Structures are given as C-alpha cells and as structure tokens.
Structure 1
C-alpha cells in the first residue's frame, strides 16, 4: 500500500539530498585535492562521512522510497541477512567517522604542525579511519546469523535501535531468545550510540572553550585573530553536525519506542517521524558541511540557481 503522495514527495526530496549532496561533497573534496595536490585530513574525514551516507542512501533509503511509492520490495532470508549487514555496517561507520571529525579538530587546534607533521598526521587519520570501518564491519557481522525475513521472526517486540526501524522491508533481527536479543540491543545502544555521542559533545565543547579563551588572549593580534576565527568557524560547523546527528538520533529513538510501548493505529504517525528522522542526518549533512566549506557552498548555490543551465557568455 502506497503512502500519501505528499509524504512520498518530501521523503523523495530528502533521499535526493542524501544522494546528490553527499556525492557533491566527495566530488568537491576530490577536486580540491587535485587542485592543491594535497588531501587535507579534515577533507578526508568529510569524504568518509559522505561516502557512508551516500551508500546508505543508495542501499536503504532508495528502497524505502520505492516501498512508500507502492512498489513491492521483498528479500529472501539470505537477502535480508546481506542487507541488514550492509545497513548496520554503514550506519556504524557513519557514527564513528563523525566522532573522529570532532576528535581530530579537538586535537589539532592545540598544536602547530609542519608539513612533515601534517603528512604523519594524515597517516594516523587514515589508520584511524581504516580501524573504524573494520570494527564497524565486525560489529555488523552479527546481522548475518541473527537476521532473516519477518516470516520467521520470533522476537517481534525487540528493536535494535542502531540499525533501523523494525521490521525494515520485511527484514528483522531474530535472536535465539529475547534475553540474548535484549542484551545485544542494550550493549549496542551504549557502545555504539551513547558513548560516541557523549564523546562528540565533550570534544566539541572543549574545542569551543579553548578557542574562546585563546581568542580573548589574542584579540590585539590580527593574524592570530584571523586564524582563530577560521578555527571557530570550523568548530561551529562541526557543532551543527553533532546537533543534527543528536536531533535525528533522539527523534528516531523516541518515535520508535513510543510506538513500541504505546503503539496503536492512531500513533502510526510516529513511524513516519521515525522514517524521516532516520534519514535526516544523511540528507542534511551536505547542507551543514556547506556552511563551513566555501567551495562546496558556492557549488551548491550555483546548482540551486540553475547556473549550469545558463549558457556561458563570452565577451
């Protein structure tokens, strides 16, 4: 059964932003690397976040949009295991790479680095990103033995928050019993959600406090003040990303649990809210990044103004 056309249209816009916006972030960062012949560590992290969001949009959100539009989307047991594995992996990677952006900025504003030190720093960032993707892959491996098609589901009331709405396109978690399922869900929420969010808040708050104190000490030094203003702008952009992530995550968790424990036909709208909030960070991430990335902001403005449709005029 198709959802309301307005809901499908709005969700389609959100999915489109997630696909084209994140692809644009990757392209702009790659283009800057080509021009400068150097890849900044911060741009590398932004590209990884965008890559996780883009793949999540393509492998999950487009399928949800197709389902909402009234088309049948069905997975067999092996298909569900594979898709739940991919969705959980990408979701986990997105969270931890987003945290690494906050920690990276928190660490780097306290040190001045030479070019050699920047190369060493980038090597460390690459290693950290590889570890985050690998650990996320290990975490998501639980989906292979413990997920299946909903026809075989024996734990309907269990929901693992960090993966997605349950059931999703007929795919559910199927643990041997509710105790083991609940244990996995609780550990998942603490390690996979609460700890990263807490570290994000701590790192960004400490960064803002450090920049504020340093700014007070260097108000009379023009160069230093200009440098601090640049760092302050970057810190605010990261803060906006964190607030967007927390709002999307919090709304999703509240909506799902409200429906789980107080669910009725009249509260079905909570699942609609959960559907949108689960995709909110993916869709709006490029727009938030654009607030602190001049080249990306100009490119988005150029596209929104349909500048690519205007023929180039030569004098």
Structure 2
C-alpha cells in the first residue's frame, strides 16, 4: 500500500470514528432523556433526526470508503452496493433538510413580534414533525432510482462505459438523461441551501439591528446619567 493511500485511509478512519462516536453519544443522550421527565424542546426533535441521518450517512459511506482506502474495494455484492449508496443518499439529504428546517425555525423564533412571521411563532412547533417526516419521504422518493443502475465492482460483466464509485460502478447513459437526473437530485439540496443562506442572513441582520438599538439605549442612558 502506498504512503498516500495509507494517509488517506487513516484520515478517513479518524473522521469516521469521531463522527460515529459523537452522533451515537448524542443519540444515547436523547434516548436516556426520553425515559426521564425532561421537558422536550421543539428543536430537540430536529436534533434527534439530524443525529440519525448523520449516523446513517457515516455508516453507509464513511465505513466503506475507509475500507476501500485500505485496499478492500471489492467486498460488496450488488444488493449491498445498492442499499449502502441509497441509505447514504437518504441520510445525507435528510441531514441537509434538517439543518434547513432548524435554521428556518430559529429565524421564526427570534423574529420581532410585529413582523410578518409573528403568527408563525405559535404554529411553528406544530409544523416540525410533518416537515421532518416529509423530508424522509421526499429523499426516499428522489433517490429510489439511484441504486437501480449500480453494480458491485465484484461483477465481472464487460461494461465499457461506466462511472466508478470506488466500491460500486454505474452504467453511463446519454448526457441528457444524466443531466436531468443530476438536476433532480440536486434540486432539494440547492433549495435547502438557499433557504439556509436566506434565514442566516435574516438572523444576522436582525441581531445587528438589535445591537444598534442596545448601543443607542446605553448611550442615551449614560448621557442622561451624566447630566
């Protein structure tokens, strides 16, 4: 094994172990809290699903990639290849969607009482469960076609035109079909990233205005006190 492959394998192994242990400890923490009288917050439900999605993505992508980096590239059957990449895509998509929902919920929560989002403050917690459930269903439907064209690298069929996914391979189709499917797969992620950028910018602007008001009040209080 080359030094470069060994270094990449060690880096992937370290990241995968740290990620799995961190998310698994959080999942255990929430599981223990469910047996206590802990008063659940609305964001706790998002965090639980985010933890499960992260674990799914790490186990289904981090572990096989680490094994492939250490030279074990031909260890999955066709079914295992299809299942692992499908679960990784679903976990990755739900993880991005959960972060997006969390950002939107935080933006609604800190919005002023006289804003257009004031009415959503009361109803927002009720929409969290349906939103997370919809994310799981949507990601499963979007990615259900993805594994159909995958085969294991153990398969010795003479496929001349294919995409290589290290431990899996896929038959290449026409450019139009590949482009349309790439747009379909990317659209939910692009939408979530756009919403996260918008809500993050809104929260930064809101906190900046709040800081200016506080500084103005402090200056007014200091000037009146000195006079």
TM-score by length of 2: 0.77
Gaps of 5+ in 2: 114-119, 219-227
**Cross-structure match for 1:212:** 208
**Cross-structure match for 1:122:** 125
Cα gap change, 1:59/1:26 in structure 2, threshold over 3 Å: closer, same or farther? same
- Deviation string for 1:137-161 (max 9, x for gaps)? 111101242322355556435xxxx
The runs of at least 4 aligned residues of structure 1 exceeding 6 Å deviation read none
Matched, 1:197 2:193: yes
CA–CA separation in structure 2 for the residues paired with 1:217 and 1:201? 24
Cα deviation for residue 203 of structure 1 reads 1.0
Cα deviation for residue 105 of structure 1 reads 0.8
Q: Is the 8 A contact 1:8 1:65 kept in 2?
A: yes
Q: Is the 8 A contact 1:155 1:177 kept in 2?
A: no
- Structure 1 residue aligned with 2:134, among 131, 149, 173? 131
RMSD, aligned α-carbons: 2.9
**Cross-structure match for 1:97:** 98
Cα deviation for residue 136 of structure 1 reads 0.5
1:169-248 matches, within 5 Å, as 169=167, 171-174=168-171, 176-189=173-186, 191-219=187-215, 220=217
CA–CA separation in structure 1 for the residues paired with 2:199 and 2:189? 16
CA–CA separation in structure 2 for the residues paired with 1:105 and 1:67? 40
TM-score by length of 1: 0.57
CA–CA separation in structure 2 for the residues paired with 1:143 and 1:213? 46
Q: Is the 8 A contact 1:40 1:122 kept in 2?
A: no
Cα deviation for residue 38 of structure 1 reads 1.9
**Cross-structure match for 2:224:** none
CA–CA separation in structure 1 for the residues paired with 2:108 and 2:121? 13
- Deviation string for 1:157-185 (max 9, x for gaps)? 5xxxxxxxx4131x233355343122211
Cα gap change, 1:118/1:199 in structure 2, threshold over 3 Å: closer, same or farther? closer
**Cross-structure match for 1:108:** 109
Q: Is the 8 A contact 1:99 1:197 kept in 2?
A: yes
